[in-house]
């Protein structure tokens, strides 16, 4: 009897979901009750595409930066709190450079305390560590915590925002301009695009994967210690995908009346990291559903080929140098994302190097390249670099060589 009732409820739920789906094309993937994630992904692949409700969106694979899907990706829109992705990126830049530490203590200013919107209710003069404030930003989207960190790093929020804009420019985010560090502003001069959000999201998660230690948190308590005493405050994640989507790893939500509902969602499955950016969705449910649809589609159609290029390469012969050979190494790993269903085992690699080179050669100079082909077509390459410097030999060096040979 219970099984019959459960089946009936599942059927009714399916009818209700489909009835409310008129705004979607048949290509969308619904998280229908009773379906496994694998079934949803297979259906996404079978329908051959995805339609979403939000006006702007993009789906990117993180390691290659390859775009799998896009919809009005370069239309400038208000980003709301997904602005904080850039704030977090600068925080981690400063941690990496040793300019700040996770254990550093940060004092909340009156300006930071005055922030409205989403906040963790820091009091003026309250001291928190950098580690705690990162949690407040990444988990609870605290505007007050964002400003406190901006002031700690740059002295003022204004100077920190200038740093944000310089960083955006260095990343090639040509359609982005920030006016605050948290996205609370309603200024028309605070804007970005789905493509630019994906670019800065990719920079954050690929350069600093430790961000996941924060963005995967669903709930965690922090302690407020002020002149009035100590109290516990529970940080609760604004990213509902952490509970709704099994592969979710982050990253950042945002919403204001101007921006509507935005999301940069990251997820990992079978070694593939995807970034789904949704901007200006009409409500928060659409925001999350669109992101899940994009991620399901991406995982369904994507295969990632990776060559770490760790094997040793034979040294190159150097003529006319103080030494006869120079060591060489691969510059980096090779990654190729396929969305066409090709047989990735057919990828071939050919190392192309000159038989010998003339001195001098400098460490870091290009010695050759490894070329990858699939079905006879080149799909990419990796530079091979000299790992050491070999100077051009002088008369004295030749005398030394002769001396070593005979004596």
Quote the tokens at residue 29: 């993937």
Please give the Cα distance from 214 to 220 (Å, whole number). 10
Please give the Cα distance from 103 to 93 (Å, whole number). 16
Cα–Cα separations (whole angstroms), residue 139 to 134, 321, 361, 373 = 8, 57, 50, 43
236 pairs with which residues across the strands? 219
Which of 56, 78, 81, 237 is catalytic? The answer is: 81
Which of 71, 84, 135, 252 is catalytic? The answer is: 84
Vertex 40: Cα angle to 37 and 45 (nearest 5): 125
Helix, strand or coil for residue 253?
A: strand
Classify burial at 266, counting beta carbons within 10 Å of its beta carbon; exposed 0-12, middle 13-18, buried 19 or more. Answer: buried
CB 30, CB 51: distance < 8 Å: no
Task: Enumerate the H helices of 229-283 as residue ranges.
Answer: 241-244
CB 170, CB 69: distance < 8 Å: no
Quote the tokens at residue 318: 């150097």
Please give the Cα distance from 308 to 15 (Å, whole number). 48
Annotated catalytic, 81?
yes
Residue 37 makes CB contacts below 8 A (sequence gap 6+) with 246, 247, 296
The maximal CA–CA distance of the chain, rounded, in angstroms, is 98
Phi first, then psi, for residue 259 (nearest 5°) are: -80, -20
Which of 56, 78, 118, 141 is catalytic? The answer is: 141
Annotated catalytic, 109?
no
Please give the Cα distance from 104 to 110 (Å, whole number). 19
Annotated catalytic, 141?
yes
| Residues with active-site annotation | 81, 84, 141
């Amino acid at each position: 009897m219970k099984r019959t009732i459960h089946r009936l409820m599942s059927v009714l739920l399916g009818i209700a979901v489909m009835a409310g789906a008129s705004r979607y094309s048949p290509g969308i993937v619904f998280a229908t009750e009773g379906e496994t994630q694998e079934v949803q992904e297979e259906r996404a692949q079978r329908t051959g595409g995805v339609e979403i409700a939000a006006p702007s969106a993009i789906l990117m694979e993180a390691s290659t930066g390859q775009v799998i899907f896009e919809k009005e990706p370069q239309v400038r829109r208000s980003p709301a709190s997904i602005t904080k992705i850039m704030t977090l990126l600068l925080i981690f830049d400063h941690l990496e450079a040793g300019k700040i530490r996770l254990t550093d203590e940060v004092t909340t200013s009156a300006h930071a305390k005055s922030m409205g919107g989403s906040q963790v209710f820091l009091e003026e003069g309250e001291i928190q560590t950098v580690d705690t404030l990162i949690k407040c930003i990444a988990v609870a989207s605290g505007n007050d915590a964002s400003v406190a960190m901006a002031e700690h790093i740059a002295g003022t929020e204004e100077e920190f925002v200038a740093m944000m804009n310089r960083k955006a420019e260095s990343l090639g985010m040509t359609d982005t301009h920030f006016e605050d560090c948290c996205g609370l502003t309603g200024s028309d001069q605070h804007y970005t695009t789905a493509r630019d959000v994906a670019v800065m999201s990719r920079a954050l998660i690929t350069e600093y994967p430790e961000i996941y230690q924060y963005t995967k948190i669903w709930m965690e308590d922090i302690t407020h210690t002020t002149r009035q005493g100590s109290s516990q405050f529970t940080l609760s994640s604004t990213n509902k995908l952490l509970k709704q989507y099994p592969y979710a790893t982050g990253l950042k939500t945002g919403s204001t009346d101007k921006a509507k509902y935005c999301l940069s969602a990251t997820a990992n499955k079978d070694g593939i990291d995807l970034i789904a950016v949704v901007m200006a969705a009409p409500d928060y449910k659409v925001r999350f559903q669109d992101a899940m649809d994009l991620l399901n589609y991406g995982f369904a159609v994507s295969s990632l080929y990776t060559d770490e290029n760790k094997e040793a390469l034979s040294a190159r012969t150097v003529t006319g140098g103080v030494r006869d050979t120079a060591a060489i190494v691969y510059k980096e790993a090779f990654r190729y994302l396929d969305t066409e269903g090709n047989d990735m085992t057919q990828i071939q690699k050919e190392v192309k190097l000159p038989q010998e080179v003339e001195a001098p050669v400098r460490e870091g100079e290009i010695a050759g390249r490894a070329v990858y082909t699939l079905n006879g077509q080149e799909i990419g390459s990796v530079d091979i670099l000299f790992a050491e410097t070999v100077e051009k030999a002088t008369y004295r060096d030749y005398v030394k060589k002769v001396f070593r040979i005979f004596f």
